[in-house]
Structure 1
Amino acid sequence: MRESIKSAIGETVQDLINSGLKTSFTKKELDSLGVEIPEVHLTNFQIKEIREKMNLSQSVFAKLLNVSPSSIRQWEQGKRKPSGSTKVLLDLLKRSPGILDYRLNIVDCLPTKQ
């Protein structure tokens, strides 16, 4: 494949990924096209902002993310950073704060009338 065509395809695929569209490329194919999956960077202030936008305490937020309340505290204080899939999940929550509302089961927690 000519380099100019390869470059154009790579740019198009990168744009697809950056826009959030689903793709079904292998890591090897992405590498050959020069496409990189962007790293997620969140500050401690952004993590706290995500939690506060959701109106959740640190302990409830921790339960929602399946991490310890201590982890949430340390992330928000800048002592530690989230890693792996938790970092990606936090990035999703930053973009769409209601994405995990189904996990809260707020309706199920309300007392029923007898």
Structure 2
Amino acid sequence: MTAKRFKSDAFEAIHSAASGLRKAKVIDTKTMREYEDLCLEEPPHFEAKDIVLIRKAAKVSQPIFALYLNTSTSTVQKWESGQKHPSGMAARLLQVVKKHGLEVLT
């Protein structure tokens, strides 16, 4: 399971309190989802052109880029054509590569 990323320490404390209330059945699942939306950081969103720019800045081909990101060349091609969008861990890895370069993954 991926660790939850909170917007701040304060939001983490609010989420923790809400989780306790949920376990005690004081708040319902719908309300807990509202706390999740409020407190948790959204994964980054990348458009096709963003992914192309990140890969080209790294000066690698699609197959090499896919190897670094532990995905398939086909997936990278779909991201770059806009047929799919990276989510979850892939989006986080792209965020890291954009900020620190591909070398950080070696």
Given the two structures, how large is their TM-score scaled by the length of structure 1? 0.59
Distance 1:26 1:72, change over 3 A: farther
Which consecutive residues of structure 1, in runs of 5 or more, have no partner in the other structure? 1-12, 18-24, 103-114
The equivalent of 1:80 in structure 2 is 84
> Which aligned runs of 4 or more in structure 1 are off by greater than 6 angstroms?
none
* Cα distance, 1:96–1:16 mapped onto 2, change above 3 Å: farther
Matched, 1:43 2:30: no
Q: Deviation string for 1:8-31 (max 9, x for gaps)?
A: xxxxx84569xxxxxxx5783286
Q: Distance in 1 between matches of 2:93 and 2:60?
A: 16
Q: 1:53 aligns with which of 36, 57, 60?
A: 57
The number of aligned residues is 82
Would you say the 8 A contact 1:30–1:36 is kept in 2? no
- Give the CA RMSD over aligned residues: 2.9
Contact 2:62/2:77 (8 A) holds in 1? yes
Identity %: 28
Larger of the two Rg values belongs to structure? 1
Give the structure, 1 or 2, with the largest relative contact order (CA under 8 Å, sep 6 or more): 2
Higher helix proportion, which one? 2
